[in-house]
Amino acid sequence: DTEVTQTPKHLVMGMTNKKSLKCEQHMGHRAMYWYKQKAKKPPELMFVYSYEKLSINESVPSRFSPECPNSSLLNLHLHALQPEDSALYLCASSQGVLRRTPSGNTIYFGEGSWLTVV
């Protein structure tokens, strides 16, 4: 089973709201990712968590706040967003194990959360 589950599928929020996107995987993966995808563009990396610790932040504005409560869950907290932040937010995971395995770096994506900021 190579499933990454994201909720909610759709979210509409005002610029003063606080909301969260959630991601879950039960593949025993130790690396989890947040990507942002605008229409007709490729996904862009936002954050990487490795063994529940933030390892990469691609200079993302602080109005996006990631959290990794445990090895299966990844959240993205949203606050004071702008209309230009409207996009598809994708969660992904990979084995992330430090030993090299044939599929150790294969990245699996969820279906995404469509965010609209009004």
Residues that bind other proteins (CB under 8 A): 2, 4, 6, 30-31, 33, 40-43, 45, 48, 50-51, 55-56, 88, 90, 94-101, 104-112
The CB-of-80 to other proteins minimum distance in angstroms stands at 26
CA distances from 56 to 15, 34, 45, 53 (A): 26, 10, 9, 9
Pick 17 or 108: Cβ nearer other proteins:
108
Tokens of 56: 């990469």
Cα distance between residue 60 and residue 48, in whole Å: 12
Pick 5 or 82: Cβ nearer other proteins:
5
